[in-house]
Chains A and B, each alone.
Chain A
Amino acid sequence: MENLSYRYSAPRRAGGSKPLALVGVVASGNLEVLVERVLPDTECQLEIKTAAEGFGPVWAAVTSDFVARRAAGGLKLSINDGGARPDTVALRLAQAVRVIEGDEQ
């Protein structure tokens, strides 16, 4: 297990007002993302627990692209990773933002 943590200044605030959301599943080659609206609008934090060690530079690239491309300000994302591929990680992060942007049920 490896724990990684990234904190970015975020150019855009995440839309909507939902306080939290969960996407994905914990499984081999997949990941679960818990997203919480708990930070100032200009910040984004990612906490990663991953089964695959030694992929720090790839996580840094995936998470910084995510914050640059998606409106993720105000969000803390906690990731439980089962060795997912980077493209799957990027997809789940984007899905997490879309879900928390969605209207309250």
Chain B
Amino acid sequence: MQQVSDGPAAIKPAAPVAFNSSASWSSGREARADRLRAGSAYADGKVVEARKATALLEAVIRPGDRVCLEGDNQKQADLLARALAAVNVAKVYDLHMVQSGVVLPEHLDVFESGIAKRLDYSYSGPQAARIARMLFGGKIELGAVHTYLELFARYFIDLTPQVALIAAVSADRHGNLYTGPNTEDTPTVVEATAYKDGIVIAQVSEIVDQLPRVDIPGDCVHFVVQSDKPFYVEPLFTRDPGAITEGQILTAMLAIKGIYAPYGVQRLNHGIGFNTAAIELLLPTYGERLGLKGKVASHWALNPHPTLIPAIESGWVKQIHSFGSEVGMDNYIRARSDIYFTGSDGSLRSNRAYSQTAGLYACDMFIGSTLQIDLEGHSSTVTESRIAGFGGAPNMGSDPRGRRHPSAPWLLAGEQADPGTPAALRRGRKLVVQIGETFGDKNVPLFVEQLDALILAEKLKLDLAPVMVYADDVSHIVTEEGIANLLLCRDKDEREHAIRGIAGYTDIGRGRDPKMVERLRERGVIRRPEDLGIDPLDANRSLLAARSIKDLVEWSGGLYAPPSKFRNW
């Protein structure tokens, strides 16, 4: 037993002088109590009627506050967005919005009116053109465009919201919330706000005695506003198989035979887009014929894509964790709990922060589409007039330098990139694959000399161009002309010609040196369809496991209920 002593009194340090003896160490908590008192005038317990929502927000939000108005690429706190856009700008102004998605018109209306001034965000799909105009017009002071995971991280360091406006399906009188399958960002937003003296206000479409399950505990929720309809959800991850082209099917065949098979990719994430939808629909047909079932594409970080239903039903998929849900997939998911993560009530539990982390660290491959790729391999979805933001793509589409666990695809990719380093000291590499046809909509080329993102950065005087996937993270580019394996390129020149060599009839493609391209092809840096034993004429729609939304419904045994805009029967 060690003897414990206080030691001689002589060396006891003097009591430190406080930097400000009158300062409180709990000013945030006191401020929250003030706000709660002000807000309680409009509430019955925690429950607030929808017509009082704007008055509630005027009472609890202070000028200059950081406010998270929940919304991402899927669900939206739409009632609270309208309520915020209606506040008196003399009372509530200069807000700093810190939110995943700038998606609804109201998300930008608050900047037009002066209610909000500064913006840190991640995704702006449908508002991409308007946000660009407002940034050029100086209406928005831009902090940065983040990836989802990055913005979530900053919620805990320097962008912690003072007020969070969130969306759930139902609440009880204590403020416990049921989010339903679209849990998405809510737990992360609430964690950062509620545990750092912030106020959490939820919109719900029902107040009930007993919730189906508790997604958010009531002691983190301060006010519950009752909406007369459910929060809005965009069916963003539904791709109609009827719109898949032969060119997309060819790129899918190339990816499956030229990448999934040789690397043995089992853990992966797919972006949204028709090329990856084609891959999903080719697994049970073309993939089966190649004998790949059980060897590839078994474990996923993925939203519930309807186009994956045939592969699930054919026994390809072991497990899927999801960022959010997808409209119409609820009953199918309930009936397939071996595949999806579900709660005690049987419905999906999604979580964007966890699924993004899973995509970053636990997946061996990301494959997705983009709008522009330059000669080094940088890619971007920003064009001069549209700033779509990133969402999760740069996080999925990056090689995590903190990864330490090995897997066969990761080790093989690492060896290809760096054959000189001894194996035990060599980093593996995540496969980051960009897939697309050489020309997109309206004959716009995929390959460009210079990304529009650079022009935009110059115009807006940004420190960083909004690059979605950096060149040094990209491992492969797939087009209908072939696959470029950038891991095997040893210098800038080889890289440029690997890209030109699959750029088809774009200006970039026609600017190739054919001899250099042939040399790269001999080394397997470029692989053409014929090098992989693929006849482009075999790429036709009969290969798709489902050729229409109706086929997907049939595959699901009637469990998938597509939203009306996808029904043509």
Stretch at the interface among B24-32, B61-69, B380-388, B435-443: B435-443
Which of B438, B510, B537 interacts with A87 by CB under 8 Å? B438
**For window 521-546 of chain B, which residues contact chain A by CB distance below 8 Å?**
536-537, 539
Number of A positions contacting B (CB below 8 A): 15
For A57, A85, A88, A91, the residue with the greatest tally of chain B CB atoms inside 10 Å of its CB is A85
A-B Cβ contacts below 8 A, count: 40
B504 within 8 A of A: yes
**Contact, CB under 8 Å: B438 / A52:** no
Q: Report the nearest A residue to B443, measured CB to CB.
A: A85
Query: Contacts of B505 on A, CB cut-off 8 Å?
Result: 58, 61-62, 86-87, 90
User: Interface residues of B toward A: which range?
Assistant: 10 to 19
Question: Chain A interface mostly helix, strand, loop or mixed?
Answer: helix
Interface residues of A (CB under 8 A from B): 52, 57-58, 61-62, 83, 85-88, 90-91, 94-95, 98
Measured between beta carbons, the chain B residues less than 8 angstroms from A61 are: 505, 510
Minimum CB–CB distance for A54 against chain B, Å: 11
Across-interface contacts of B536 in A (CB, < 8 A): 91, 94
> Is B328 close to A, CB under 8 A?
no
Measured between beta carbons, the chain B residues less than 8 angstroms from A83 are: 443
Q: Which residue of A lies closest to B438 (CB)?
A: A87
Residue contact B504 to A86, C-beta cutoff 8 Å: yes
- Of A57, A87, A91, A95, the contact of B439 (CB 8 Å cutoff): A87
What CA separation (Å) do A32 and B505 show in the bound complex? 20
Known: A85-B437, A87-B505, A91-B246. 4 other contacts (CB 8 A): A85-B247, A86-B438, A87-B438, A87-B504
A95 touches B443 (CB 8 A): no
* Interface flag for B58 (CB, 8 Å): no
Indicate whether B480 reaches chain A with its CB closer than 8 angstroms: yes
- The answer to whether residues A98 and B537 also contact, given A61-B505, A62-B505 and a CB cut-off of 8 A, is yes
Q: List 7 A-B contacts (CB under 8 A).
A: A61-B505, A85-B247, A85-B443, A86-B504, A87-B481, A87-B504, A91-B480
Tell me the minimal C-beta distance from B262 to chain A in angstroms.
Answer: 24
**Chain B nearest CB, measured from A55 CB (Å):** 8
The reply to whether B510 and A91 contact each other, CB–CB distance below 8 Å, is no
CB distance from B287 to the nearest CB of A (A): 22
A62 to chain B: which residues have CB within 8 Å?
A: 505
Q: Could you tell me if B537 and A94 are in contact, using CB atoms closer than 8 angstroms?
A: yes
Nearest neighbor of A95 in chain B, beta-carbon distance: B537
